[in-house]
Amino acid sequence: MNIIVNQPKLVNVVKLYLRKSFGNLTPKTDPKSPNSIFYVNSDNKIFMEYDEKKEYVWIDNYLIWSKLESLFYIDYEDIQLIMKDWLEEHYNLSGITPHSRIQRKWFR
């Protein structure tokens, strides 16, 4: 069976996946990183780091970014655009640039 997915449908599916999988992250701050807000799960594992000064969001490569690449077969630039929209819609982070990075694993 061949399934044809057009670009707008793919974007909606990816955003749905992001919302269901990573839509309940909690923002936390750390005095050691005063310019950053860390988005963590219930186990305090860091999934994203928002650097307010640089206006970047660092997305954990292993936990999020590479999953989008392998599950949806989309490239870095497309992930970046989708993440930018999703972060604005879901976490109210506008004017940011998302990037992949290997993060610290736990919030202390």
Tell me the β-bridge partners of 97: 56
pTM of the complete model: 0.85
Residue 47 domain-assigned (yes or no): yes
pLDDT interval class at 22 (50, 70, 90): very high
Residue 2 domain-assigned (yes or no): no
Show the domain range for 77. 7-101
Question: How many domains does the chain fold into?
Answer: 1
Residue 106 domain-assigned (yes or no): no
User: Phi, psi (5° rounding) for residue 58?
Assistant: -90, 120
pLDDT interval class at 2 (50, 70, 90): very low
- Which strands form 56-60's sheet, in the order they lie side by side? 26-30, 33-40, 46-51, 56-60, 97-101
The pLDDT value recorded for residue 93 is 94
Residue 88 domain-assigned (yes or no): yes
Residue 94 domain-assigned (yes or no): yes
